[in-house]
C-alpha cells in the first residue's frame, strides 16, 4: 500500500514525472520523446502499461514534446485545460479538461490540480494521492503562493523546483531581460525560495524531496543538495537529473526506500 515515484527527466530540455501504485500510474508532463520515455521507464523497471493518464501542467515545449505521440500509442487520456490546449496539436478525443482543486480519479489514484504562477496560458501543478499517501509535482513556479503552501504541507514526497542560484544567475551570461523573466513572479523558483518553502511548510511526514528543473547554467546539483542538507531533517534529498531517469522510490506514510538504481546515466536520445 504505497506509491512509487521517479523523475524520467527534469530540466529545460524536458520534464516528465512518474507517480503510481501497484496497479495504476500517471505521468505529469511528457517533455521528452515517446520513445525516450519508454526506454527510460524500462531501464528503471517501470511498466508503461500501468500508466492510465497524462496530466499537462502547461504548454511549454519542455513539458509537452512527447504527450501526443505517447497518448495516441497507448490510448491514454490527456488531462489538460482548454486554455493550455489551445493551438496545440493533440488528439482531440483523448483530451479531457480539469478545474483547479477538483480531484480526478485515475484508477486507484486521486489527482488534484491547482493554479500556479508561471508565464503560461493556464499553468497548474498537481498532487497525486493514494491510501493516505500524497506526492506533489511542483515545478515551473514563479513564486510561493498560498496554493503551493497548502498542497506542499500535505506531501509525503514531492518534486520541487530549485531552478537557479541567485548569485550564479546575476553574474552569469544570460541577457538581462531573460534574468528578469526567470526571477519574476511568473518565472522559476530559486534555491532560496524552494528552501524557504521546505523549511517553513514541510510536513513531518515529508520523507523524500526531489529537487527538480535545475538550470544547467545557473545552478549546480551539488550546490542545491548541500543547501538543503545543511538543514538537517529526516527528509532524503535527491537531485533530479536532466539526462537520465532517477531511481524508483517507494513512498509510504513517512518513509522512502530506493528500490532500484539506474545503472549509468543515459544520454537523451532524441527522435
Is position 268 within any domain?
no
Question: Would you state the pLDDT for residue 266?
Answer: 39
Report pLDDT digits (tens) over 110-157.
999 999 999 999 999 999 999 999 999 999 999 999 999 999 999 999
Is position 130 within any domain?
yes
Is position 266 within any domain?
no
Exposed e or buried b per residue across 125-154, where buried means at least 16 C-beta atoms within 10 angstroms of its C-beta? bbbbbbeebbbbbbbbbbebeebbeebbeb
Is position 52 within any domain?
yes
Domain that holds residue 171: 3-260
Number of separate domains in the chain: 1
Q: Is the pLDDT of residue 179 over 60?
A: yes
Question: Would you state the pLDDT for residue 1?
Answer: 83
Distance CA(86)–CA(161), nearest Å, equals 26
Q: Is the pLDDT of residue 271 over 70?
A: no
Q: Is the pLDDT of residue 92 over 50?
A: yes
Report pLDDT digits (tens) over 182-229.
999 999 999 999 999 999 999 999 999 999 999 999 999 999 999 999
Report pLDDT digits (tens) over 26-59.
999 999 999 999 999 999 999 999 999 999 999 9
Question: Would you state the pLDDT for residue 215?
Answer: 98
Report pLDDT digits (tens) over 56-84.
999 999 999 999 999 999 999 999 999 99
Is position 242 within any domain?
yes
Is position 265 within any domain?
no
Is position 269 within any domain?
no
Q: Which CATH number goes with the domain that contains 183? A: 3.60.15.10
Amino acid at each position: 500500500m504505497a506509491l512509487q515515484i521517479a523523475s524520467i527527466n527534469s530540466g529545460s530540455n524536458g520534464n516528465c514525472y512518474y507517480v503510481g501504485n501497484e496497479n495504476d500510474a500517471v505521468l505529469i508532463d511528457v517533455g521528452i520523446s515517446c520513445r525516450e520515455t519508454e526506454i527510460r521507464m524500462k531501464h528503471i523497471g517501470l511498466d508503461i502499461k500501468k500508466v492510465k493518464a497524462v496530466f499537462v501542467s502547461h504548454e511549454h515545449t519542455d513539458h509537452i514534446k512527447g504527450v501526443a505521440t505517447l497518448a495516441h500509442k497507448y490510448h491514454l487520456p490527456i488531462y489538460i485545460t482548454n486554455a493550455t490546449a489551445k493551438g496545440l496539436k493533440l488528439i482531440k478525443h483523448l483530451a479531457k479538461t480539469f478545474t483547479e482543486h477538483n480531484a480526478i480519479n485515475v484508477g486507484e489514484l486521486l489527482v488534484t490540480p491547482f493554479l500556479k504562477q508561471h508565464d503560461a496560458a493556464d499553468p497548474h501543478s498537481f498532487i497525486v494521492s493514494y491510501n493516505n499517501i500524497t506526492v506533489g509535482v511542483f515545478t515551473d513556479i514563479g513564486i510561493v503562493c498560498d496554493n503551493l503552501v497548502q498542497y506542499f504541507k500535505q506531501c509525503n514526497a514531492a518534486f520541487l523546483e530549485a531552478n537557479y542560484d541567485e548569485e550564479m544567475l546575476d553574474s552569469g551570461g544570460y541577457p538581462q531581460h531573460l534574468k528578469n523573466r526567470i526571477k519574476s513572479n511568473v518565472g522559476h523558483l530559486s534555491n532560496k525560495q524552494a528552501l524557504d518553502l521546505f523549511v517553513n511548510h514541510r510536513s513531518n511526514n515529508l520523507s523524500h524531496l526531489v529537487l527538480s528543473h535545475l538550470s544547467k547554467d545557473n545552478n549546480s546539483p551539488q550546490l542545491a543538495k548541500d543547501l538543503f542538507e545543511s538543514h538537517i531533517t529526516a527528509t532524503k534529498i535527491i537531485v533530479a537529473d536532466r539526462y537520465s531517469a532517477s531511481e524508483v522510490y517507494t513512498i509510504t506514510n513517512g518513509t522512502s526506500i530506493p528500490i532500484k538504481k539506474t545503472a549509468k546515466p543515459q544520454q537523451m536520445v532524441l527522435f
